[in-house]
Chains A and B, each alone.
Chain A
Amino acid sequence: MIKFETSRFGSLEVEPHRVIDFPEGLIGLPELKKFILIDHRDTPLKWLQSLDDPDMAFIVGSPSLLVAEYSLQLEDGVRKYLQLNKEEDLVPLVIMRVQGEDIIANFQGPILINAEKMRGVQLVVDSKPRASQKAG
């Protein structure tokens, strides 16, 4: 079991296979490399809690909670990065927050998790199309 502190949920113990590895952390937060997903009672939302920083927890949910149809064009590099073998292992999540009366969902920086390998990444969705694929 892995034991760690959180500011919202107190001291937690989880089995190692529940820990999601973000090799490069989140965008602008490279030090946050390990997370777990915590269900919140009977809601469809989850907490994405950092193991590296007790204060860092994000509210996340499936994009399908907010939009009827959600699709992402995944570059091969992202598949390789996540070591994705099967499409059905891919779990997309969006980070949400409250601003005044509005709910802000970060569709420009969605999180993708490969549930098989427990590997995650935060994408930067570029609305401008790329001229060509990256080499390599």
Chain B
Amino acid sequence: MLVLTRKSNESLKLGDDITITVVEIKGGSVRLGIEAPATMRIFRKELYDKIRKENLLSANVMEDEFAKINKSLGPK
């Protein structure tokens, strides 16, 4: 892992299109500002990991589970 030291209001460039700025350092938290193309998808990693895990759990469902879910939806 590349480790760099930055002070408040200093930035990093990731390639040509992405700039990450240290906006504020307070207590144990760092506020970051991210400038990136609008279609670039940016996630908090813990949320990304949670959804990744959920996806893996959901990918191997079988037909009987389908029936169970359908039943739980009740009459339509």
Contacts and interface: CB of A to CB of B under 8 A. Distances in A.
A80 B38 contact: yes
A97 interface: yes
Nearest to A109: B51
A45 interface: yes
How big is chain B's contact interface, by range? 35 or more
A110 B62 CA distance: 20
Given A44-B73, A80-B39, A135-B35, A28 B52 contact: yes
Contacts, number: 120
Interface residues of A, number: 42
Interface string A16-56: 00000000101111000000000010011101000000011
Given A45-B69, A134-B42, 8 more contacts: A43-B66, A59-B69, A65-B73, A65-B76, A96-B58, A106-B58, A126-B43, A126-B44
Interface of A: 8, 24, 26-29, 40, 43-45, 47, 55-59, 61, 65-66, 75-77, 80-81, 95-98, 103-104, 106, 108-109, 121-122, 124, 126, 128, 131, 134-136
